[in-house]
DNA sequence: CTGTTAGCGCGTTCAA
DNA sequence: TTGAACGCGCTAACAG
């Protein structure tokens, strides 16, 4: 590149001081329109772009936020990021991505490293492997932080979540109304509020319909795919449920494979319902009923909250924003 | 936050100079091991983390790369990002995300804004809306740039792509071997090398089997979903193809919907084959044959190349890295 | 309205 | 082996 073009250079060319240029570029009220115009035109002409590092160093503002999530290659999170990025664009912010892979140490390491002034704020959906709110209790004091979907409760931070309990209740009722009486539950995120709420919704719906909540009908998610598959197969063989309520998308595949391997027809023999943001799934398999979280909107909402905080705007009192999920009944005719 | 901890602070506490601390932290050969150890232990104790802005400003290195892609909420791209982020972690780099939404102006605006020293390099999969290599010809001279999947050809830059031509050829042959003789083509990315190569593979396979390549059997992708659906419906009604070769994942839904609306059974009446990184799709619908690009590996490979460039390492001569896609025949028994 | 001055935190001379 | 001094590009006091 030819001589770097910075405000010093602009100042020289225009025979004015560096400070004047800086103020003009920032549209300060102190500068005359005439001077501003001279600066702006030359800046455009020379293709001037401010050096972000210098600006950050001085102003302590990076115009950058970090998104810390378990994994990008997940329909929910990639949609969330899409929403976050769109809002960030509007506000002129940049978006950094960090994947924890459900590893709490990585999560802590990333967020800690962000404290050095690399970002103005953090958006996060925490790891499911452990639940240690102590760390986050301290963290939220140090940097603006917005949780989305997978949150730590009882913290002084904004949380954007969905109606996990209600939708799980509703979905379970739907299964019951379809005639299912022995509904197994594929339990994910059991360390997190979201996971617990989903299970509670399921359990309460059963109770409300005088159905028993049996531990034997619950399979807990394992990191190991093979284990999940085996457990579901065993569940199907031993307890013969007539429905599988999958609380996370990751359970869909083992659930299908298990049914398939045992030669169970879908939807007739075992009805599968799952939390899922895989928008094409129900289309490809019309028998799959899904609970779809508004991932895109969650991302947008979380980002908006963070930017409001960063701009010291009042957040409309509430710290807990709860968005509605959708229960998409793809097999209503079959009922 | 308590008093910020910077090298000045460390220097004071240890009664040594700032310069010594700086050198010690960077493991300079000029500093005695004893001093280094003192610095390191105190740094850890005080939880010192270097201020990235200051460091960038001084060293002109940001340890940050940008990923510029059409959209994150896409199975191919989210997998690519996953790969990129993983490699970035290994190399200690940070990853910024920018979505162009297939808008060439946004693309140009983003990449231009990155030239001010915010990032050390760029990974990009370009917009499909236009093909204007002039801009990129200049860009690659200004900043290390690696293209992946959607590339500009004939530029002095590394390009990571897949075997679009070969796999499309192979897939078409598969359809022919399944007995299809009237294979329609759903044409996406027509402005880009990848799109052209896929079509060429399809066309050449037809020719190699003495089948006619008819323009009437080609539907070009439109931004408007409704248009796509209508066009495919018309295609099915008027020309009655026995297979649909979808060159991009975005065509799967309209293809299915069109068949469904016309009450065509799948797989019997119209065979659908698609490029897709939706890993669960074939599982949910066993009749769907897919071409799966190694998106994750593409991301990893592209990132590795970029970091090698940034570290001035020799790239093993070749600038064009071509990875293999997979043709997953889900309906082999039906043949 | 404009200019002078003084750092932000770090890395890199060069001298001791 | 160590330290003093300077400057990266920019912003923010404070003068004028």
Q: What is the mean pLDDT of residues B271-283?
A: 82
Shortest Cα–Cα distance, B59 to chain A (Å): 10
Q: Are A160 and A319 in contact (CB under 8 A)?
A: no
- The answer, yes or no, to whether residue A272 has pLDDT greater than 80, is yes
Tokens 């293999």 belong to residue: B324
Among all strands, which nt has the closest C1' to A9 (CA)? D9
Q: Which residues numbered 127-146 in B keep a CB inside 8 Å of some CB on A?
A: 142
What's the confidence (pLDDT) of residue A335?
36
Q: Are A157 and A148 in contact (CB under 8 A)?
A: no
Partners of residue A246 in chain B, C-beta under 8 Å: none
CA dist., res. A263 & res. A34, Å (int): 80
Extract long-range pairs of B135-139: CB within 8 Å, 24+ residues apart: B135/B108, B139/B111
Closest residue of chain A to B299, computed from CA coordinates: A73
Which of A53, A115, A252 has the CB atom closest to B49's CB atom? A115
Closest residue of chain A to B106, computed from CA coordinates: A89
What's the confidence (pLDDT) of residue A1?
41
Tokens of B123: 């990974």
What's the confidence (pLDDT) of residue B163?
97
CA dist., res. A133 & res. A126, Å (int): 11
Residue of B318, B105, B50 whose CA lies nearest to A113: B50
Each residue of B213-251: pLDDT tens digit?
Answer: 999 999 999 999 999 999 999 999 999 999 999 999 999
What's the confidence (pLDDT) of residue A267?
55
What residues does B99 pair with on adjacent strands?
B69
Q: Which residues numbered 151-170 in A keep a CB inside 8 Å of some CB on B?
A: none
Q: Are A85 and A113 in contact (CB under 8 A)?
A: no
Each residue of A153-195: pLDDT tens digit?
Answer: 889 899 999 999 999 999 999 999 999 999 999 999 999 999 9
Same fold, B7-59 and B64-162+295-324: no
What's the confidence (pLDDT) of residue A74?
93
Partners of residue A89 in chain B, C-beta under 8 Å: 99
Which of A53, A56, A97 has the CB atom closest to B97's CB atom? A97
CA dist., res. B233 & res. B239, Å (int): 10
% of chain A surpassing 70 pLDDT: 94
Partners of residue B259 in chain A, C-beta under 8 Å: none
What's the confidence (pLDDT) of residue A253?
86
**Sorting pLDDT into bands at 50, 70 and 90, what band is B270?**
confident
**Sorting pLDDT into bands at 50, 70 and 90, what band is A142?**
very high
Each residue of A108-132: pLDDT tens digit?
Answer: 999 999 999 999 999 999 998 888 8
A252 touches chain B (CB under 8 A): yes
* Ramachandran category for residue B6: left, alpha or beta (phi over 0 → left; psi -120 to 50 → alpha): beta
Residues in chain B: 335
Task: Name the pTM for this structure.
Answer: 0.93
What's the confidence (pLDDT) of residue A316?
66
Task: Report which residue is nearest nucleotide D13 when distances run from CA to C1'.
Answer: A19
Q: Are A149 and A80 in contact (CB under 8 A)?
A: yes
Tokens of B80: 């690519």
Compare A30 and A67 and report the one with higher pLDDT. A67
Cβ-defined contact of A280 to B283 (cutoff 8 Å)? no
DSSP A24: H
What's the confidence (pLDDT) of residue B132?
81
Q: How far is the CA of B333 from the C1' of D5 (A)?
A: 79
Tell me which of A9, A78, A107 to substitute to probe the interface with B (most B C-beta atoms closer than 10 Å): A78
CB atoms within 10 A of CB B321: 19
B179 touches chain A (CB under 8 A): no
Q: What angle do CA A160, A163, A167 make, to 5 degrees?
A: 155
**A260 CA to centre of own chain:** 32
- The answer, yes or no, to whether residue A13 has pLDDT greater than 60, is yes
What's the confidence (pLDDT) of residue A334?
39
Q: Are B129 and B151 in contact (CB under 8 A)?
A: no
Closest residue of chain A to B66, computed from CA coordinates: A96
Residue of B98, B155, B149 whose CA lies nearest to B128: B149
Q: What is the mean pLDDT of residues A90-98?
A: 97
**B239 CA to centre of own chain:** 35
What's the confidence (pLDDT) of residue A333?
42
Q: What is the mean pLDDT of residues A54-66?
A: 94
Q: What share of chain A is helix, strand, coil (3-state, %, to 5)?
A: 50, 15, 35
Q: What angle do CA B134, B135, B136 make, to 5 degrees?
A: 95
Task: Report which residue is nearest nucleotide C13 when distances run from CA to C1'.
Answer: B19
**Sorting pLDDT into bands at 50, 70 and 90, what band is A244?**
very high
Beginning with the edge strand found earlier in the chain, give each strand of the sheet holding B218-220 in spatial order.
B218-220, B183-187, B243-246, B271-275, B289-292, B326-328
- The answer, yes or no, to whether residue A3 has pLDDT greater than 70, is no
A113 touches chain B (CB under 8 A): yes
Which of A86, A97, A284 has the CB atom closest to B285's CB atom? A284
Q: What is the mean pLDDT of residues A220-228?
A: 93
The mean pLDDT of chain B is 90
CA dist., res. B176 & res. B192, Å (int): 26
Cβ-defined contact of B82 to A99 (cutoff 8 Å)? yes
CA dist., res. B216 & res. A110, Å (int): 54
Query: For strand D, is any atom closer than 7 Å to the CB of B59?
Result: no
- For the A164-293+327-333 domain, the top CATH level (class) is alpha beta
Q: How far is the CA of B75 from the C1' of D1 (A)?
A: 56
Shortest Cα–Cα distance, B127 to chain A (Å): 16
Closest residue of chain A to B81, computed from CA coordinates: A72
**Sorting pLDDT into bands at 50, 70 and 90, what band is A331?**
low
Domain boundaries, chain A: 7-59, 64-162+295-324, 164-293+327-333
CA dist., res. B287 & res. A174, Å (int): 29
CA dist., res. B8 & res. A323, Å (int): 47
B7-59 belongs to CATH 1.10.260.40: yes
What's the confidence (pLDDT) of residue A259?
84
Each residue of B69-104: pLDDT tens digit?
Answer: 999 999 999 999 999 999 999 999 999 999 999 999
A33-37, A108-112, A134-138, B168-172: range with highest mean pLDDT: B168-172
| Helices and strands (DSSP H and E) totals, chain B | 13, 12
Each residue of B45-60: pLDDT tens digit?
Answer: 998 999 999 999 999 9
CA dist., res. A212 & res. A208, Å (int): 10
B68 touches chain A (CB under 8 A): no
Rounded to 10 degrees, the C-alpha dihedral B313/B297/B87/A92 comes to: 110
DSSP string covering A52-87: HHHHHHHHS--SEEEEEES-SSSHHHHHHHHHHHHH
Task: Report which residue is nearest nucleotide C3 when distances run from CA to C1'.
Answer: A17
Each residue of A304-322: pLDDT tens digit?
Answer: 999 999 998 777 667 899 9
SS3 A8: helix
CATH of domain A64-162+295-324: 3.40.50.2300
End-to-end Cα spacing for chain A: 68
- The answer, yes or no, to whether residue A245 has pLDDT greater than 70, is yes
Q: Are B86 and B295 in contact (CB under 8 A)?
A: no
The mean pLDDT of chain A is 91
């Amino acid at each position: 590149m030819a001589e770097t073009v910075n405000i010093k250079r602009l100042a020289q060319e225009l025979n004015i001081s560096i400070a004047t240029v800086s103020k003009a570029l920032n549209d300060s009220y102190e500068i005359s329109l005439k001077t501003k115009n001279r600066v702006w035109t030359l800046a455009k002409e020379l293709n001037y772009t401010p050096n972000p590092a210098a600006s950050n160093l001085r102003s302590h503002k990076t115009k950058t936020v970090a998104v810390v999530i378990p994994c990008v290659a997940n329909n929910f999170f990639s949609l969330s990021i899409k929403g976050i990025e769109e809002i960030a664009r509007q506000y002129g912010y940049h978006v950094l991505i960090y994947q924890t892979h459900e590893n709490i140490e990585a999560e802590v390491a990333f967020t800690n490293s962000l404290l050095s002034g690399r970002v103005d704020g953090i958006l996060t959906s925490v790891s499911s492997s452990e639940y240690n709110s102590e760390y986050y209790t301290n963290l939220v004091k140090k940097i603006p932080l917005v949780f989305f979907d997978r949150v730590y409760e009882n913290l002084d931070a904004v949380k954007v979540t969905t109606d996990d309990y209600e939708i799980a209740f509703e979905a379970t009722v739907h299964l019951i109304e379809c005639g299912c009486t022995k509904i197994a539950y594929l339990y994910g995120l059991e360390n997190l509020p979201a996971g617990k709420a989903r299970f509670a919704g399921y359990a309460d719906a059963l109770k409300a319909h005088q159905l028993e909540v049996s531990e034997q009908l619950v399979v807990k998610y394992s990191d190991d795919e093979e284990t999940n598959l085996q457990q579901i197969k065993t569940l199907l063989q031993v307890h013969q449920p007539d429905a599988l309520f999958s609380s996370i998308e990751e359970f869909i595949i083992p659930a299908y494979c298990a049914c398939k391997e045992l030669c169970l027809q879908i939807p007739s023999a075992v009805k599968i319902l799952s939390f899922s943001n895989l928008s094409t799934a129900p289309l490809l398999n019309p028998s799959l009923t899904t609970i779809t979280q508004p991932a895109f909107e969650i991302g947008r909402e979380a980002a908006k909250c963070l930017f409001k905080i960063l701009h010291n705007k009042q957040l409309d009192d509430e710290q807990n924003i709860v968005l509605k999920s959708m229960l998409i009944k793809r097999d209503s005719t079959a009922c």
